[in-house]
Structure 1
């Protein structure tokens, strides 16, 4: 009797092992199909195959990353076509959030950070009054050199127009141009803050610095001329 029980137990174990191997093979096959579809831009099939893999193994890192990347690239395509992309960026961010629980290595941080930047921007496109600062702060925390998130945060704070917010915005734009001197829009934005504060000289200085980096930039050309005219008028009136 005991021998029969042991035989049955061994048979069950063997069956379970075969099932596990079969499921693992299925997951690997779905992931491979998803990656192949993703490489050629067939995002619908990529999403379908990665989702099937995750139905079998929800913690599979490669499938989870593939699904997040599929939604990310689909949302990017929407951005290029100027289509509403809030739902797609929301779904991509959701997948990256789940992925971050599966993969804590930090390898996904840059993509996750960029995704949150685009989600913040899509949120503002849908609702200008939405508070996206927490999204941008998380984006910056994930990738400290994501200057697009810094720049958008600075713009939001500068548009509030309050004293402390303007100071924070100024510090952000100074941080950007200090660490990434080729980030041209930060020169425009920093000059605008000085201009709003009535500091025409500093505004002219910053816009001129930006113009050295981008001599054909229309906004910098226009605002530098405006600042020069203002400085000349101030000299003639004795204010300088």
Structure 2
């Protein structure tokens, strides 16, 4: 048993150091000698996923979960790998399982630790970004809202929600979110950029200019803000 533990620790250490192929070798040796150890298959899956061998990674994570169905990290890693493969429905299923497992650890949702909430929120954010990339705006909005219910103070998630709303065409809702975000996080330059674009889209170029000028005062070196302001002076289109 000590030999197996040493192989696992060696593999994990190499994985953390970025020596993925070497890590995989030690983990495969460990798995051959002790195939019913859930951690081994989870770490093997992580190594395989990093190497882009997604189908093999999925098999490893599924084996880990077969051994221990409540292994949260394996479900998380499986979901992330599905995301990389573009299998959004499968990824969502795994993230839903993660959320259920985290909640079941406590008597009420309020008792879930912040780190667990943050982890789940970031999973929803990642899925939302995938939906946003393929222009499935309603699904993206739903994922970002799920994330915000868990971590309402994460400004990047609010920003992505505003972006999804804007791209869907719900400019008013996007503006409302971004106005709040720029007040609460005045150094969040991306929010000024998007807020100005929203006003520009509805034809309020004066307000767009005010927003971009406000952002430019905070970050005078921002090239995109400078180009937007020059565009308004030249009456070019975005």
TM-score normalised over the length of structure 1: 0.63
Call closer, same or farther: CA 1:93–1:109 in 2, change over 3 Å.
farther
- Pick closer, same or farther for the CA change 1:51–1:168 going to 2, 3 Å: same
Indicate conservation of the 8 Å contact 1:30/1:49, yes or no: no
1:192 aligns with 2:191: no
Q: In 1, are the aligned partners of 2:181 and 2:191 still within 8 Å (CA)?
A: yes
- The residue correspondences of 1:1-240 to structure 2 (distance < 5 A) are 29-35=37-43, 38=46, 41=50, 47-59=58-70, 63-72=71-80, 75=83, 78=84, 85-87=85-87, 89-104=88-103, 105-106=112-113, 107-128=115-136, 131-161=139-169, 165-228=170-233
- Name the structure 2 match of 1:81: none
Report if aligned partners of 1:64, 1:95 keep a CA contact under 8 Å in 2.
Answer: no
Find the structure with the greater CA-based Rg: 1
Aligned residues: 190
Structure 1 gaps, min length 5: 1-24, 79-84, 231-240
Distance 1:90 1:110 in 2: 21
CA shift at 1:98, angstroms? 0.6
Contact 1:90 1:119 (8 Å CA) reproduced: no
Q: Distance in 2 between matches of 1:86 and 1:143?
A: 25
Q: Deviations over 1:102-150 (max 9, x none)?
A: 2222433223222222322322433456543222211211221333332
Cα shift at 1:227: 3.6
Contact 1:117 1:148 in 2 (8 A): no
Structure 2-normalised TM-score? Answer: 0.63
Please report the RMSD computed on the Cα atoms of aligned residues, expressed in angstroms.
Answer: 3.2
How far does residue 91 in structure 1 lie from its aligned partner after superposition? 3.1
CA deviation profile, 1:80-100 (whole Å, cap 9, x unmatched): xxxxx531x543332221122
Gapped runs of 5+ residues in structure 2? 1-33, 104-111
Report if the CA contact (8 A) 1:114-1:146 is conserved.
no
| Contact 2:196–2:211 (Cα < 8 Å) also in 1 | yes
Partner Cα distance (1:130, 1:158) in 2: 12
Q: Deviations over 1:212-239 (max 9, x none)?
A: 3443433311212234567xxxxxxxxx
